[in-house]
Amino acid sequence: MKIKSTIEKIPGGMMLVPLLLGSTLHTFWPGTGKYFGSFTNGLVTGVVPILAVWMFCLGASIHLRATGTLLRKSGALVGTKIGVAWLAAWLLSQWIPPGGIQTGFFAGLSVLAVVAAMDMTNGGLYASIMEEYGTREEAGVSVLIGLESGPLVTMLILGSTGLAAFEPRLLAGVVLPFAAGFALGNLDPELRDFFSRAIRVLIPFFAFSLGNTIDLHVVLQTGLPGILLALIVMAVSGTALVVADIAIGGGRGTAGVAASSTAGAAVGTPHLVAQAAPQFAPVAQAATAFVAASVVVTAILTPLAATLWAAHGAPCIGRSPVARDATAADPVAR
């Protein structure tokens, strides 16, 4: 049976298929991991340790001379993502009341929901896509993208500065595995070669575990408005991110498309924000449903959009995207 070749015919299939399998399992049989326990439970619920190993191997694969590219690209994407969310919050606050929209098609939608869905990128999803369609340096940007995750940025955007605890040790915890791999990979080229081989192998395992954090019923809870929010998030932030990736990051725009998703961690943001800023408590529950829908929809559509962009929409910027080099500056289709 040619299972691998069949999966790879699907855009982003090596990530998308395991993710859909995991989300289906979590939706209809959410207790599977706990029921079987042991290694099965570890595989089902192991998104964090699997991602930690992946980040270590990703760090090991990046050569020291590529760090300038890493900082330039991450700064362009993170700055643009947060900037677009800031602008959206300012514009929407002019006509959406503090208690959210109460009636009509978009009933339940609030500025909190839009900002939480827009200001955080799914770093693991981004890294998976860029490992498939970009360079290792572009995939490594996911480490710095992950620094924007959590309620702090959302609170800053919503004008809640000072209400959230900012612990540097947690940020260090995000960076350390990548930094350790980066150090070892640059100290010993053989280790770089050894660890870099595991990057693609870990993608389906991480995607399956990530899928097991997604309940497909959330799409039904918000219906068409939730789906439209996800599409708007991808279209608005994605357009700005593509421009930033090409103009500032020196890429072909694929990284911008890959960064247009909503982070899974964003689902918990509305309630965390409401705990620190009680004025958002009345809209937190509805906002959670909208953000969850955006997570699900963007997790499915972002890989498809990135695949189509990499194959048909990305400008070559004077270089041929036929062959890939681990230290090349431009992404290519594999």
**pLDDT tens-digit profile of 45-72?**
888 888 889 889 988 987 776 666 667 7
Rounded CA-CA distance 64/68 in Å is 9
What residues contact residue 299 under an 8 Å CB cut-off, 6+ apart? 19, 122, 125, 210, 214, 261, 262, 264
What residues contact residue 156 under an 8 Å CB cut-off, 6+ apart? none
User: Angle 82-126-285 (CA atoms, 0-180°, nearest 5)?
Assistant: 60
315: closest CA among 235, 257, 233, 232? 257
61: closest CA among 176, 146, 188, 174? 188
Distances (CA, A) of 197 to 123, 179, 190, 330: 20, 18, 11, 20
Q: pLDDT at position 150, please? A: 59
194-235: pLDDT as tens digits: 998 998 898 889 889 878 877 888 777 788 899 999 999 999
Instruction: Locate the domains of the chain by residue range.
Output: 3-313
Assigned CATH for 3-313: 1.20.1530.20
Tokens of 195: 């660890």
Rounded CA-CA distance 312/179 in Å is 34
Q: Which amino acid is at 189?
A: P
CA atoms within 13 A on the CB side of 152: 13
Q: pLDDT at position 309, please? A: 92
249-258: pLDDT as tens digits: 888 899 899 9
Q: What is the mean pLDDT of residues 3-14?
A: 80
33-42: pLDDT as tens digits: 999 999 999 9
Rounded to the nearest 5 percent, the helix, strand and coil shares of the chain are 75, 0, 25
